[in-house]
Amino acid sequence: MLVYNYKTPGGKRKQIAIEIAGNSFANYWVNYIDRLSNKCPAIEWYIAGLNSQQFIRSPRDNVYDLLQIRDAFNYINSRGLCDLAGELGDIERLMAFPEKVDQVKLNTWHRIFTSLEMEWLKLGKKLPESVDRQELWQYIQNVNTYVHHMEMWTYHKLDRRLHYKEHMQYSIQFTNADNLNYRKKANQVFGQENLEWIDGFTFDFFNEKYDYSVWLHEDITGKDQMKAWLDNDDLTAEDITGNLLMTPSITLDPYMIYKRILDDKNFRLESKKSNKLLNRFPLGNILCKDQVDWPEFFKSKVENVLLFGKVLWPKEFI
């Protein structure tokens, strides 16, 4: 059993308990987080909401985000790393009419982000002398960050997402796109000495059980098929993958949104046409999930993580 003890905003101490699935990947993942806790004992956990449509923005909010993406694209374009002249022209037009920002354009910019990160950061391609690697890293991450910010404007206009608007998913994770301190911890987990690729495991929801409420989190440079489908994105695109890297972060799905998506005949058709496996991995089920106050949990702070009674994080809790 995996247990996350947390402290509520009112000071109460509660827990989320998870029964680990009996599949081979879940068993491997349990061993992975046990090993990782010794290598990276300083991980700090936080709770986030996924697929949330609770936050509604005004078009004016998009202007700041557009400016950040414009600055990033200007830097990348001016140094010859990628021809973004057309995108810069689109941004100038959208700044005059920010209400016209749509998911199609955000999907395009997110794909540019994944391409830039893979080519210039992850593959370690030699940079021109005029480019500072840390500066480039920040600009590339900014594209991702501010695209996701503007999705709080576009998600309310997507029929597929509106179908699930009444319920949220939650994550217990150690990094995000907005917080530099969390990203520094991510450099430990995904650093060369600790990074683990998912090798020898696949997940085919057409032939395997997917009735689970806990999944490996979407620590993916691109998107997984379910997010891509909700975003009206192209499942055949190169950056629509499942999990490629091991991650200690998890997704909690108490309302079984993933199962409902995987049950959807239209999603199944698009997934089949993509000729790709889902490769998002189920980890188990939340015990007594109907007894959890989920809005309270969302605002709570994880204090420690236990695996079969053994403290994984923080080590000083022992």
pLDDT (average), residues 89-117: 97
Say what the pLDDT of residue 120 is: 86
Q: At what angle do helices 103-116 and 133-154 cross, to 10 degrees?
A: 160
Q: What is the pTM of this model?
A: 0.91
Look over the chain and give the mean of its residue pLDDT values, rounded to a whole number.
92
The tens digit of pLDDT for each residue in 160-203 reads: 999 998 889 999 998 765 554 455 556 678 887 888 999 999 99
The tens digit of pLDDT for each residue in 276-285 reads: 999 999 999 9
Tell the burial category of 249 from Cβ atoms under 10 Å away from its Cβ (0-12, 13-18, 19+): buried
In angstroms, rounded to a whole number, what is the distance separating the alpha carbons of residues 254 and 294?
A: 9
DSSP 21: P
Say what the pLDDT of residue 184 is: 57
Q: At what angle do helices 59-78 and 85-96 cross, to 10 degrees?
A: 160
Name the band, by pLDDT with cuts 50, 70 and 90, for residue 317.
Answer: very low
For the chain, domain boundaries: 2-51+166-317, 59-160
The tens digit of pLDDT for each residue in 283-302 reads: 999 999 999 999 999 999 99
The single residue listed with the structure tokens 């794909």 is: 111
- pLDDT at residue 132 greater than cutoff 50: yes
The single residue listed with the structure tokens 């790709």 is: 276
* Residues near 284 by beta carbon (within 8 Å), at least 6 away in sequence: 2, 18, 19, 20, 21, 26, 212, 213, 214
